[in-house]
Amino acid sequence: MSDLDELREAAAHCTACELYEPATQTVFGAGPPSAWLMLVGEQPGDREDLDGAPFVGPAGRLLDTALQRAGIDRSEVYVTNAVKHFRFEVSGNRRLHKTPGVKHVRACRPWLDGELAAVGPAVVATLGATAGKALLGSAFRITAERGTPRPWEDRTLVPTTHPSAILRTPPEQRDEALDALVADLRVVAGLRP
């Protein structure tokens, strides 16, 4: 059993915050255990919560498109989230995303730290403000830092936007927003060891 398998099994029983109660399951990271790149998002969405895998819903499909356009093969990438349970509110028969709080990020930080240690990626890209703040602190501002590589611990970190932000962008601005994400991911691709 690998370190990631042990972490995944332990995380499946996590009760460190209240998010485990309404969520379907813990959504742990996925990808090769020796990936050169780790993508860290915010939290699983509705589809991810139901399927038990990260980035398999609409934002995941958009991420796949962006990775392909940037020249990054997703099979080489480990994808995960800062928070491992879906935080939502119910509206009718739908579960609507609700941004995780600082306490949720802190409760899940040992799982993310474990993934970082087990995978040992040379490059980390944070997707969105929550992921950026989870690793860089509350002073992090995505608008000021996106697409800019920076040394972080013993690797390089590149912040960018979350694909779900593009899905919430007005339709007439989505192509431009996707192009900006692809440009950031091309910076990431250029850091491949």
The total number of structural domains in the chain stands at 1
CB neighbour list of residue 17: distance below 8 Å, 6 or more residues apart: 85, 103, 104, 107, 108
State how far the alpha carbon of 179 is from the alpha carbons of 2, 68, 165, in Å: 37, 12, 13
State how far the alpha carbon of 52 is from the alpha carbons of 14, 88, 102, 134, in Å: 14, 16, 23, 22
pLDDT at 34: 95
> Rg for the chain (alpha carbons), in Å?
16
Q: What is the pLDDT of residues 31-67, one digit of tens each?
A: 999 999 999 999 999 999 999 999 999 999 999 999 9
Q: What is the pLDDT of residues 114-155, one digit of tens each?
A: 999 999 999 999 999 999 999 999 999 999 999 999 999 999
CB neighbour list of residue 87: distance below 8 Å, 6 or more residues apart: 19, 43, 97, 98, 99, 100, 101, 104
Q: How confident is the model at residue 69 (pLDDT cuts 50, 70, 90)?
A: very high
pTM: 0.96
- We report the CATH number of the domain holding residue 138 as 3.40.470.10
Domain that holds residue 93: 3-189
pLDDT average, residue stretch 102-121: 97
Q: Where are the beta strands (DSSP E) in the chain?
A: 37-41, 77-81, 88-91, 94-97, 123-127, 150-152, 155-160
